[in-house]
Amino acid sequence: MSIEVGSKLQGKVTGITNFGAFVELPGGTTGLVHISEVADNYVKDINDHLKVGDEVQVKVINVEKDGKIGLSIKKASDTYREPQPRSAQPTQRPNNQNRPNQGGRPPRKREEFRPKENFEQKMARFLKDSEDRLTSLKRSTESKRGGRGAKRG
């Protein structure tokens, strides 16, 4: 039997850890229900919700290439509703365009926002900024001390 993302299955809890529970699915495969996927509310101790041997209905939320199966008990329940994307939710913000800036940082202009950078780009930008700062610092301190190439009159 092939396990497909989105399918609801009946399974049996075979093991419990501090981060989740292992559930044996039909066909002998085992998946993990992460502790955040056990119930709709915050779960501090998974043992309060599940015991080894419990029969549970689970929904397959992902299947990794290496065969790991991610399961959810809360998404398998009939009362679960998918959260709406933030853009679809109505905003309750007041129109503050006419309000003066009340201290703190000035508002940023759109062109000041940087696109998402990967780690290498961030490091390259950091190195360049750091070298620029060090160069200007050396220039100002050498001119004050009269060291290395500073003009003496």
Q: What is the pLDDT of residue 33?
A: 94
Taking only Cα atoms into account, the Rg of the chain, rounded to an integer number of angstroms, comes to 28
Examine residue 139 and state whether it is found in any structural domain, yes or no: yes
Examine residue 109 and state whether it is found in any structural domain, yes or no: no
Q: What is the pLDDT of residue 58?
A: 94
Number of domain units in the chain: 2
Alpha-carbon distance of 119 to 116, in angstroms, equals 10
Examine residue 52 and state whether it is found in any structural domain, yes or no: yes
Q: What domain range is 20 assigned to?
A: 8-76
Question: What confidence tens digit (pLDDT) does each residue in 11-64 have?
Answer: 999 999 999 999 999 989 999 999 999 988 898 999 999 999 999 999 999 999
Q: What is the pLDDT of residue 109?
A: 60
Phi first, then psi, for residue 89 (nearest 5°) are -80, 135
Examine residue 25 and state whether it is found in any structural domain, yes or no: yes
Question: What confidence tens digit (pLDDT) does each residue in 82-105 have?
Answer: 777 776 556 565 555 555 555 666
Quote the pTM value.
0.53
Q: 104 with 66: CB under 8 angstroms?
A: no
Question: What confidence tens digit (pLDDT) does each residue in 58-85 have?
Answer: 999 999 999 899 999 999 887 777 777 7
Hey, is 52 helix, strand or coil? coil
DSSP assignment, residue 41? Answer: S
Question: What confidence tens digit (pLDDT) does each residue in 92-151 have?
Answer: 655 555 555 556 666 666 555 666 778 888 899 999 999 999 998 888 887 777 655 555
Same domain? 13 vs 70? yes
Examine residue 16 and state whether it is found in any structural domain, yes or no: yes
Tokens representing 153 are 């009159």
What is the CB neighbour count within 10 angstroms for residue 49?
18
Quick check: 153 pLDDT over 60?
no
Hey, is 76 helix, strand or coil? helix
